Structure 1
């Protein structure tokens, strides 16, 4: 997913940067760092080199960049309703009172059956509770009996003591109406999550804390970053929609809303989505007339764009993530640690103070004492140095695994970008070359070989073993494929490289930097390699022009606005500023900023966009 930033007339955005908190109390203005250029991360070519670009401001406000997940069925995930579904309906046999009492007696004894009947006969006594000592088996059978009642009962259990009460009883918030998930559709509660300036993990952690469910029970199809308003589905094992209704206001105070609940038999896992739908406003458009811009938009719709990894893949710091990844793959672990710990341009006061102390002393204990707590990678490295002085490799591997892999993936992305730029410069991008690689469906034998000896605990919605496999093009098969089929490799120990000059170039680029990926070296165990299409297609492309006067005027409705019945903004017919509203759908892991780049032809880094302001 790709995003851009610019100055706003409202509160200045801190997205993509370290935000100041209680541990960064000095308000000394940070020095501005030089914008990161696309050429620094290998981005230089265009699918259609003949288009005219234009000036614009991307994401002047949060509502200018809307991202909606697209599910495996091709449906755009939207927040449309906050209604909580009815979770209790009488299921199973319809018993008479005597039959019901006999079932209770058979489970427990006559005394329990009599007490239970007396409880049921006093529906108006909402403060009354009944407690029954149970084990797992009798409790499950009792739940099934309770499910046959027209009126639901709340329950709680502690050390086998099951307490039941009427639904109006609010004495103990831990007592809940029993939900028969299977009868409602499945073990998982699926909900659509709308969030403002919050990434997926931030949303998961917030839901876990407020709703009081373990974060490991919350799953999702893809990660969304914080630099947009995003909507995506999540699933929760044995989730309860009533609990979300109770804490809706607290979630909303953090910019998070949930709705469109349903029960499903399978949870989501990473990859269980087709892509994302983008609704984007480009403000203060100038430098080209509407006819010229329309030509560029039509080219995007018909020709697509080069599937580069966007600028946010490489971070917003003056030290780019792929530079750290390069050091790790060079096995220069001391150099990688220094890139993470040493002073860098653009840091806040306390971060800079801690880094300067490291540069002067290399004393992990001293630096840990003043390093801001939000510096997770830095703290992990320093703690390792404190325990294992001088062991640089151990220090780097002490970083959280997802962050460690982020650095390596950034380097792979950098090599991929450079390879594609070289390919377009040398050979264009209109047709495949002999030796190019494409992906094809695996044979049944290949799938069975992958499955052999492996028990998958995948609970998602795809077959984890039925993955495409690479095929090198030859004179015999090249006519079966187009440029849209061509992929370029993310270097790894199982990577199949193109059998042509670009394949050799990829290997040479890494050799020049002292990197040779070998199967027997455990530093590359986490780097199997992957493939990414050269060409990206923008689907469902639509656009409109709208004029406005107020630079902060809302020009696109969010899902939240629509769910609340807000009318779509119409702008000012004679407004002094022109905006372009765009919508399009991209596949998974494709960057909207790279689609925009094909049209606007200006630098897309957040630093470059942050310098843009509305013209007078």
Structure 2
């Protein structure tokens, strides 16, 4: 990657904290030039299990600065602390991967026919569809769960080895009492089998109607659930809770053992998105994507190592599939039993091993001898690294947060969703790239024809998000209601990514405006972490945000590293100085002056969070060396400030390469750190 001038670069303002000159160079010239290794919650790199220094930096006042534990790294669409996130759900599995394209389309048509009959008041009777024969029990379990989650109004029946599907009569009866959406959500709740969980129907002021719902639930599910009415915002609603040890379906001892199995492993992937890798693994192992848990999402264009846990798969079975997965660009190691799933954000940070090739000065016009050029560049590199090591870097969200394509702008999609303009959000989502690759052809066809079915046939199987959206658009139509259903077809974590992208862009613009107008000093009205709070708690929810007073500004009570800026949301406090007015004006410019940062129809809630203005790198080491142009060596080593020059005369096509090794807290971007070091967009 060289210096950019397109929309990617524009998503990160050109505002820096240090004033060194910097230099130019190429990153990610080769995949192995960018290696990301997760550091777990115990401070260990997941590749070796060896302890590493925790990437926790301390500001001049002693306050800890690892405040964004709920996020992850490069390419992360997991949010920062206080965002309402869930891991990927069974919706993330394209049924065509399990059933095959032909059977999947037959199932869609079967569902449409049931809907038509229901609208016309006809009884479906025992109308059935065969999904085919599945000799592998893992495949059968996968089909049952995937179909029931996608279409909760269907029953799946095994007549070994065949699986048949028909309408669930209980669903039809319940849908006469409540909305179809509530009935579907209730059946998903029942199928999830989550102990101590509950489901609440919409408020209902009609006592007779509530009584009818109670009677139905107790008659059909009384052994499994208990129901009660309660007041909710001066209205009455029905809540349903699973009874202790209640199960919607009796399971065998073998099934119970399989359900309780967790297997941990280290995933090494190359040129793959984390969710794409999970889709491949789920299809290979016969489980759902939601059975995989992880601490954070890693960059696609990199070699990455991260911890994962999979449910319902034994270590032995996972080892048997390693060879098959390796053909897909995934290597699994450190396979072992685990006691529980991983939680999103349960990581200390990430370790980076980076190579920057073809170093040049920003001037580019000077004519020097080879030795003089190397000496000058060595001085620029050393000055830049010392500055950033001491002062840190502006904690921008990286361009990955906003979509790195030429046309797709995730923040604009998020803005449309926050304004509840579902149709425009869908059309922005399907913005094609400038090229003529298959995904762009499919997107272009949809925008030109509005034909979701034909576009689905053109969309590659690897594009899970796009295919899920097109399937829903084909089923529900491309109007406002159909587009809302299409967004609901995506797992919650994918849906919420887009509004988060918009809020991230606003945060980036806010920090640039803050530095440009209020300078590099702490000002009255700024929000800060206090030293006492930072040492006592790691919980963003529990931290009390302090507003800097005039007296504190005069005596320099706080350092710039303690200053926070809020991500827009419905629970955050905004600065009590000129920045507070800036936030209000910025949101009003986009038509969000009355935004509550909730999209009820999509089940999205953005409380917001506080992000430190600055970030620090830790455990820095580097090596600067010469190599012949086109050589593939990565350099390496851990020598502090090591400069390696070739002996004898400089060769004609010699270039300088910088190898960097450092740690960052979670939710900090290595590309942004490099940007501050090099003073160019990457």
The answer as to whether partners of 1:324 and 1:340 remain within 8 angstroms in 2 is yes
**2: distance between equivalents of 1:245 and 1:547?**
42
The answer as to whether partners of 1:327 and 1:336 remain within 8 angstroms in 2 is yes
Matched, 1:324 2:413: yes
The answer as to whether partners of 1:63 and 1:556 remain within 8 angstroms in 2 is no
**2: distance between equivalents of 1:160 and 1:364?**
42
**1:514 pairs with one of 591, 608, 616:** 591
Task: Show the counterpart of 1:419.
Answer: 510
The answer as to whether partners of 1:437 and 1:487 remain within 8 angstroms in 2 is yes
Kindly tell me: are residues 75 and 406 of structure 1, through their superposed partners in 2, closer, same or farther at Cα, counting changes over 3 Å? same
Task: Show the counterpart of 1:555.
Answer: 634
Alpha-carbon distance, 1:202 to partner = 3.1
Task: Show the counterpart of 2:34.
Answer: 65
The answer as to whether partners of 2:623 and 2:636 remain within 8 angstroms in 1 is no
Alpha-carbon distance, 1:511 to partner = 0.1
**2: distance between equivalents of 1:269 and 1:520?**
24
Task: Show the counterpart of 1:586.
Answer: 664
Task: Show the counterpart of 1:290.
Answer: 378
Alpha-carbon distance, 1:353 to partner = 4.4
Matched, 1:391 2:479: yes
Tell me the TM-score normalised to structure 1 length.
0.64
Kindly tell me: are residues 350 and 202 of structure 1, through their superposed partners in 2, closer, same or farther at Cα, counting changes over 3 Å? closer
**2:402 pairs with one of 307, 314, 318:** 314
CA offsets per residue over residues 163-215 of structure 1, 9 Å max, x none? xxxxxxxxxxx9xxx99x9xxxxx75433222222232233334444455554
Deviating more after overlay: 221-230 vs 296-305: 221-230
The residue correspondences of 1:20-99 to structure 2 (distance < 5 A) are 35-38=6-9, 40-48=10-18, 50-79=19-48
**2: distance between equivalents of 1:199 and 1:70?**
19
Kindly tell me: are residues 388 and 248 of structure 1, through their superposed partners in 2, closer, same or farther at Cα, counting changes over 3 Å? closer
The answer as to whether partners of 1:436 and 1:487 remain within 8 angstroms in 2 is yes
Task: Show the counterpart of 1:153.
Answer: none
Matched, 1:256 2:330: yes
**2: distance between equivalents of 1:261 and 1:196?**
19
The residue correspondences of 1:218-229 to structure 2 (distance < 5 A) are 218-229=292-303
Alpha-carbon distance, 1:327 to partner = 2.0
**1: distance between equivalents of 2:253 and 2:437?**
56
Matched, 1:533 2:612: yes
Alpha-carbon distance, 1:290 to partner = 0.2
Task: Show the counterpart of 2:625.
Answer: 546
Alpha-carbon distance, 1:471 to partner = 3.1
Task: Show the counterpart of 1:337.
Answer: 426
Task: Show the counterpart of 1:497.
Answer: 574
Kindly tell me: are residues 555 and 463 of structure 1, through their superposed partners in 2, closer, same or farther at Cα, counting changes over 3 Å? closer
* SS of equivalent residue, structure 2 residue 545: strand
Alpha-carbon distance, 1:382 to partner = 4.5
**1: distance between equivalents of 2:285 and 2:440?**
37
Task: Show the counterpart of 1:202.
Answer: 276
Alpha-carbon distance, 1:436 to partner = 1.6
CA offsets per residue over residues 509-530 of structure 1, 9 Å max, x none? 1101111322787368421112
**2: distance between equivalents of 1:346 and 1:305?**
33
Alpha-carbon distance, 1:532 to partner = 1.1
Matched, 1:405 2:484: no
Kindly tell me: are residues 522 and 262 of structure 1, through their superposed partners in 2, closer, same or farther at Cα, counting changes over 3 Å? closer
Alpha-carbon distance, 1:161 to partner = 10
**2: distance between equivalents of 1:522 and 1:348?**
37
Tell me the TM-score normalised to structure 2 length.
0.58
Kindly tell me: are residues 553 and 373 of structure 1, through their superposed partners in 2, closer, same or farther at Cα, counting changes over 3 Å? closer
Alpha-carbon distance, 1:345 to partner = 4.5
The answer as to whether partners of 2:12 and 2:399 remain within 8 angstroms in 1 is no
Kindly tell me: are residues 377 and 347 of structure 1, through their superposed partners in 2, closer, same or farther at Cα, counting changes over 3 Å? farther
Alpha-carbon distance, 1:412 to partner = 0.4
**1: distance between equivalents of 2:625 and 2:518?**
39
**How many residues are paired up?**
446
Kindly tell me: are residues 190 and 355 of structure 1, through their superposed partners in 2, closer, same or farther at Cα, counting changes over 3 Å? closer
The answer as to whether partners of 1:46 and 1:306 remain within 8 angstroms in 2 is yes
The residue correspondences of 1:346-495 to structure 2 (distance < 5 A) are 346-389=434-477, 391-392=479-480, 394-399=482-487, 400=490, 401-429=492-520, 431-439=521-529, 467-475=542-550, 480-495=557-572
CA offsets per residue over residues 244-302 of structure 1, 9 Å max, x none? 44333333333322333555545421111011111100011122520121010111111
The answer as to whether partners of 2:2 and 2:25 remain within 8 angstroms in 1 is no
Kindly tell me: are residues 417 and 228 of structure 1, through their superposed partners in 2, closer, same or farther at Cα, counting changes over 3 Å? same
Kindly tell me: are residues 365 and 193 of structure 1, through their superposed partners in 2, closer, same or farther at Cα, counting changes over 3 Å? closer
Larger radius of gyration: 1
Alpha-carbon distance, 1:555 to partner = 1.3
CA offsets per residue over residues 490-544 of structure 1, 9 Å max, x none? 1111121111111211121110111132278736842111221110011111111
Task: Show the counterpart of 1:609.
Answer: none
* SS of equivalent residue, structure 1 residue 289: helix
**2: distance between equivalents of 1:161 and 1:528?**
42
Kindly tell me: are residues 543 and 419 of structure 1, through their superposed partners in 2, closer, same or farther at Cα, counting changes over 3 Å? same
The answer as to whether partners of 1:382 and 1:395 remain within 8 angstroms in 2 is no
Q: Which runs of 5+ in 2 are unaligned?
A: 51-250, 362-375, 638-643
* SS of equivalent residue, structure 1 residue 398: helix
**1: distance between equivalents of 2:493 and 2:599?**
20
Kindly tell me: are residues 381 and 63 of structure 1, through their superposed partners in 2, closer, same or farther at Cα, counting changes over 3 Å? closer
Q: Which runs of 5+ in 1 are unaligned?
A: 8-32, 82-158, 163-173, 182-186, 448-461, 559-569, 605-616
The answer as to whether partners of 1:539 and 1:585 remain within 8 angstroms in 2 is yes
* SS of equivalent residue, structure 2 residue 434: coil
**2: distance between equivalents of 1:546 and 1:373?**
43
Kindly tell me: are residues 368 and 259 of structure 1, through their superposed partners in 2, closer, same or farther at Cα, counting changes over 3 Å? closer
